[in-house]
């Protein structure tokens, strides 16, 4: 099933608005999963991304990549503060586009951070 970039971003933003407060987990995979509302989209992104970057099928490698781009984001991913995680993810996604740290998947131009978060979320 093809999911448009507009639909993907809508789901990402809807999840950002829809989940308030803090979570009770410190699991980065679970924290990343809570950023997204559409399981099929997340799995589709993971499938396509891992096909292009097979090493990033490993959650530790994904976390290391997120940490290289933004230590605060990676640290927050391991915490229970979902509100701060969403905020830091949005800032880093904008920064990725500003610095051209993007990935093209099926014609979509996506921030490396949003793809890594979606790939991590799909592991939940």
pLDDT in tens, 62-115: 999 999 999 999 999 988 789 999 999 999 999 999 999 999 999 999 999 999
pLDDT in tens, 10-32: 555 544 444 444 444 479 999 99
CA distance 121 to 71: 18
**HSE (side-chain half, CA atoms, 13 Å) at 102:** 12
Give the model's confidence band at 119: pLDDT under 50 very low, under 70 low, under 90 confident, else very high: very high
The answer to whether the pTM exceeds 0.95 is no
Q: What pLDDT does 26 receive?
A: 75
Chain-centroid distance, C-alpha 81: 15
Work out the average pLDDT over 39-48: 95
Work out the average pLDDT over 22-49: 86
User: Exposed, middle or buried by CB within 10 Å (0-12, 13-18, 19+), for 106?
Assistant: exposed
């Amino acid at each position: 099933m093809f999911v448009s970039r507009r639909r993907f971003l809508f789901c990402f933003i809807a999840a950002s608005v829809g989940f308030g407060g803090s979570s009770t987990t410190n699991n980065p995979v679970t924290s990343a999963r809570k950023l997204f509302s559409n399981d099929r989209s997340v799995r589709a992104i993971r499938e396509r991304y891992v096909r292009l970057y097979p090493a990033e099928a490993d959650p530790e490698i994904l976390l290391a990549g997120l940490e290289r781009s933004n230590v605060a984001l990676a640290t927050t991913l391991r915490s229970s503060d979902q509100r701060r995680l969403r905020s830091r993810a949005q800032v880093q996604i904008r920064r990725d586009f500003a610095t051209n740290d993007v990935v093209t998947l099926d014609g979509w131009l996506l921030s490396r951070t949003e793809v890594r978060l979606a790939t991590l979320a799909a592991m939940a």
